[in-house]
Amino acid sequence: MIKKFIRRILGTTPKTPKPAENTEPLVFGPEAHGIDLDDVSSNAIRVTETLQRAGFEAFIVGGAVRDLVLGHKPKDFDVATDATPDEVKRLFRRAFIIGRRFQIVHVMFGQDLIEVTTFRGSSSKEAPKDEHGRVLRDNTFGEQHEDAERRDFTINAMYYDPDREEILDYHGGMQDIRNRTLRIIGVPEERYREDPVRLLRVVRFAAKLGFTIAPATRAPIAVMAPLINNVPAARVFDEMLKLLMSGHALACLKQLRKEGLHHGLLPLLDVVLEQPLGERFVTLALANTDERIGQGKSVSPGFLFASLLWHQVLEKWNAYRAAGEYPIPALHLAADDVLDGQTEKLALQRRIATDMRDIWAMQPRFERRTGKAPYKLLEHPRLRAGYDFLLLRCASGEIDEELGDWWTDFMESDGPARETLLNRKPDEGSSAAPKRRRRRGGSGRSKNEGHSGE
Ligand code: ATP
Ligand code: MG
C-alpha cells in the first residue's frame, strides 16, 4: 500500500516492473499515461462515479484503456467493479442483467451501452473443462488482481479510474504498449488451451495495432491452431466477424497466413486464401471493407461473407451449368452447397445467409440488359449490395468491366438515357467507353453511398 501511495504521489513508475505474483499493480498518473478525460465517454464516467459514490471500486477496463493510451478512439467502454450484478443494477435506472452463466450488467443511456462486469476470480484451474482442456464454465467473482490475471493480453488488463486519473497495471501492459508488443498473460500454452479463441485474438490485435507478438506468445500458435475446431461455431463466428470488421481485415488475413493459422483453422479461410482465382477478389473486397470502416461507414456481414465465399460458389455454379443445369437454378444449387458446407463450422446466422444468397442470386440478373428486366432489378431492396458485388467481380477481372460500367450508367441515368442504354448492344458499350475506367475498389459511384446501411 505504501509503495502504491508513493508511486501515486510521484505519478511515475518504478524502473523495473515486478512480475512476481502480480497482486500489486503499477500505478500510472496522468503524465505517464497521457489520457485526456475529454476522450473518455461521459457515460462510462457516470457509471464509475455512481459506483464509487456507493462505496464500490469501479474502473474503465480492457480495450478502451488500451485504445485511450494509444491515442485511438475506443469502440466501446467496459467497466469492471467489485459490486455484484444485483448491486450494480440497483444503482441505475436502465440496467439489465444479462447472461446466465456469468452475469453482466448492461447500463443504458439512450442508445449508449456500458457493459459492467464484476471482477472475476482466478479459479480456472478447478473450472470444468472439455477433454481438450477448454474451460466450459468459470463463474466465480474475485479480487481485481485475479480479474486482471484472467484477461488475455497485458495491454488488455489495465484499469483506468477516471476520478483519480490513474491506470492500475498488473501485468506490464504500459511497458508493452510502449514497446508495441502483444503478450499473453500467464503460460501461453495453458491460456490457448483454456480458450482457443485467443489464437484468433492474437492475430486480430497484432494486425490491428501493428504490434509485434512476443516470441513466447507466438511460438505455440501454429501447433495449437487445431484446437479452434473444438470451440462452439457461434463463438468462432463472432470472433471472425470482429476480425473481418476490425478495419484491418486484410492485415489480419495476412497475419493469419504468416502464423500458419489459416490451415485447418476454418474451412472458410482455407478456401479464401488458397484459391488463386479468388484471392484477387477477396483482397479487393477486404480492402474495400477496410476503407469503408476507416471512413466510419457500416459494412454488412452478409456482403463480407458473400465475397469471401464467392469463388467457391462460382466454381460449383460452373460445374452445375456444365452438367446441363440452367444458370439460375444452377446458382441456387451452388449457393446451397456452399452455405451447407460452411454453416456446420461457422454458424452463419440465418439473416446473414439470406443476405448472401440475395447478393449471389442477383448476379446473373445483371446480365439481362433488355426489356423490363433491368427496371425490375432496380427495385430490388438489396440492389446496392448486388451492384457493389458486381463491381468487385469486374475489378477482379472475373467479368468484363463493361457490364459494371453499363449498370453504373443505367443507375445514374433517367428515362430517355436509360432507353438508349437498353437499346445499346453490349459490344457497342465496351468499344464506346473503353477508357472510362473508374477507380474500382468496389465503387464507381459517389463515396457516401453504399450497400451496407440498407
Ligand atoms: P475491441 O476494441 O476489439 O473491442 P477489446 O480488447 O475491448 O477489443 P473485447 O472482445 O471487447 O476486446 O473484450 C473486452 C476485454 O475482455 C478484453 O480487453 C480482455 O481484457 C477481456 N477478454 C475478452 N475476450 C477474452 C478472452 N477470450 N480471454 C481473456 N480475456 C478476454
Ligand atoms: Mg471491446
Q: What's the CATH superfamily of 2-179?
A: Beta Polymerase, domain 2 (3.30.460.10)
Annotation says 130 is catalytic = no
Q: Is the dihedral of CA 216, 217, 222, 227 positive or negative?
A: positive
Q: Where are the domains positioned within the chain? A: 2-179, 185-265, 276-452
Nearest CA to ligand 1 atom 6: 63
101-105-108 Cα angle (round to 5):
145
Which grid cell is 283?
Answer: 483482397
Which grid cell is 197?
Answer: 479463441
CA distances from 398 to 220, 277, 279, 329, 394 (A): 39, 9, 11, 21, 6
Position 238 pLDDT exceeds 50 = yes
pLDDT tier at 436 (50, 70, 90 boundaries)?
very low
Count of C-beta atoms within a 10 Å radius of residue 325: 16
Which grid cell is 226?
Answer: 487445431
pLDDT tens-digit series, residues 342-396? 766 677 788 899 999 999 999 999 999 888 888 899 999 999 999 999 999 999 9
Is 403:391 a contact under the CB 8 Å cutoff?
Answer: no
pLDDT tier at 179 (50, 70, 90 boundaries)?
very high
What's the CA gap between 47 and 60, in Å, rounded? 9
pTM of the model: 0.80
Distance of CA 254 from the midpoint of ligand 1 (Å): 22
Position 187 pLDDT exceeds 60 = yes
Residue type, position 277, single letter: L
Q: Please identify, by atom number, the ligand 1 atom nearest to the C-alpha of residue 195.
A: 27
Annotation says 78 is catalytic = yes
pLDDT tier at 25 (50, 70, 90 boundaries)?
very high
What's the CA gap between 122 and 139, in Å, rounded? 10
* Confidence at residue 433, expressed as pLDDT on a 0 to 100 scale: 38
- Burial pattern 27-42, b for ≥16 Cβ within 10 A else e, equals bbbeebbebeeeebbe
Position 437 pLDDT exceeds 90 = no
Position 438 pLDDT exceeds 50 = no
* Confidence at residue 22, expressed as pLDDT on a 0 to 100 scale: 80
* One-character DSSP codes across 164-221: TTEEEESSSHHHHHHTTEE-BSS-HHHHHHH-THHHHHHHHHHHHHTPEEPHHHHTTH
pLDDT tier at 261 (50, 70, 90 boundaries)?
confident
| Strand intervals (E) in 82-180 | 95-98, 104-109, 112-118, 158-161, 166-169
Annotation says 427 is catalytic = no
Is 346:266 a contact under the CB 8 Å cutoff?
Answer: yes
Average pLDDT of the chain is: 85
pLDDT tier at 134 (50, 70, 90 boundaries)?
confident
Query: How many residues are present in the chain?
Result: 454
* One-character DSSP codes across 229-274: GGS-HHHHHHHHHHHHTSS-HHHHHHHHHHTT-STTT-HHHHHHHH
Position 10 pLDDT exceeds 80 = no
| Ligand 1 neighbour 197 (Cβ under 6 A) | yes
Count of C-beta atoms within a 10 Å radius of residue 166: 23
* Confidence at residue 449, expressed as pLDDT on a 0 to 100 scale: 43
Return phi, psi of residue 107, to 5°.
Answer: -105, 125
pLDDT tens-digit series, residues 46-74? 999 999 999 999 999 999 999 999 999 99
Q: Please identify, by atom number, the ligand 1 atom nearest to the C-alpha of residue 67.
A: 2
pLDDT tens-digit series, residues 68-124? 999 999 989 999 999 999 999 999 999 999 987 788 999 999 999 999 999 998 765
Residue type, position 223, single letter: V
139 Cβ partners below 8 Å, 6+ apart? 101, 102, 120
Distance of CA 451 from the midpoint of ligand 2 (Å): 26
| Ligand 1 neighbour 441 (Cβ under 6 A) | no
Position 14 pLDDT exceeds 80 = no
| Ligand 1 neighbour 63 (Cβ under 6 A) | yes
Position 260 pLDDT exceeds 80 = no
Which grid cell is 61?
Answer: 477496463
pLDDT tier at 233 (50, 70, 90 boundaries)?
confident
Among all ligands shown, which has an atom nearest to the Cα of 157? 1
Which grid cell is 360?
Answer: 449471389
H or E segment to which residue 46 belongs? helix 42-53
How far the first Cα of the chain sits from its last, in Å, is 55
* Confidence at residue 3, expressed as pLDDT on a 0 to 100 scale: 45
Helices 327-346/267-274 angle, 10° precision? 130
Distance of CA 260 from the midpoint of ligand 1 (Å): 23
Q: What is the mean pLDDT of residues 254-270?
A: 70
Q: Which of 75, 8, 67 is nearest to 36 (CA)?
A: 67
* Confidence at residue 446, expressed as pLDDT on a 0 to 100 scale: 39
Distance of CA 63 from the midpoint of ligand 1 (Å): 6
| Ligand 1 neighbour 62 (Cβ under 6 A) | yes
Q: What is the mean pLDDT of residues 270-293?
A: 82
State what percent of residues in the chain have pLDDT above 70. 83
Residue of 138, 152, 183, 236 with the most ligand 1 atoms within 8 Å of its CB, for mutation: 152
Highest averaged pLDDT of the listed ranges 188-197, 238-247, 345-354: 188-197
What's the CA gap between 138 and 146, in Å, rounded? 13
Q: What is the mean pLDDT of residues 113-136?
A: 83
Q: What is the mean pLDDT of residues 167-191?
A: 97
Position 265 pLDDT exceeds 60 = no
Residue type, position 405, single letter: D
Q: What is the CATH number of domain 185-265?
A: 1.10.110
What's the CA gap between 374 and 378, in Å, rounded? 6
- Burial pattern 234-268, b for ≥16 Cβ within 10 A else e, equals eebbebbeebbbbbbbbbbbbbbbbbebbeebbeb
Catalytic residue from among 67, 147, 152, 169: 152
Is 200:240 a contact under the CB 8 Å cutoff?
Answer: yes
* Confidence at residue 123, expressed as pLDDT on a 0 to 100 scale: 64
167 Cβ partners below 8 Å, 6+ apart? 27, 28, 32, 33, 35, 65, 69, 158, 159, 160, 161, 174
pLDDT tier at 263 (50, 70, 90 boundaries)?
low
Q: Please identify, by atom number, the ligand 1 atom nearest to the C-alpha of residue 64.
A: 7
Catalytic residue from among 78, 82, 195, 409: 78
Residue carrying the nine cell digits 450488467: 105
Which grid cell is 450?
Answer: 453504399
| Ligand 1 neighbour 173 (Cβ under 6 A) | no
- Is 276-452 in CATH node 3.90.190.20? no
Q: Please identify, by atom number, the ligand 1 atom nearest to the C-alpha of residue 242.
A: 3
* Confidence at residue 282, expressed as pLDDT on a 0 to 100 scale: 87
Distance of CA 208 from the midpoint of ligand 1 (Å): 14
| Ligand 1 neighbour 75 (Cβ under 6 A) | yes
Nearest CA to ligand 1 atom 9: 63
* Confidence at residue 178, expressed as pLDDT on a 0 to 100 scale: 97
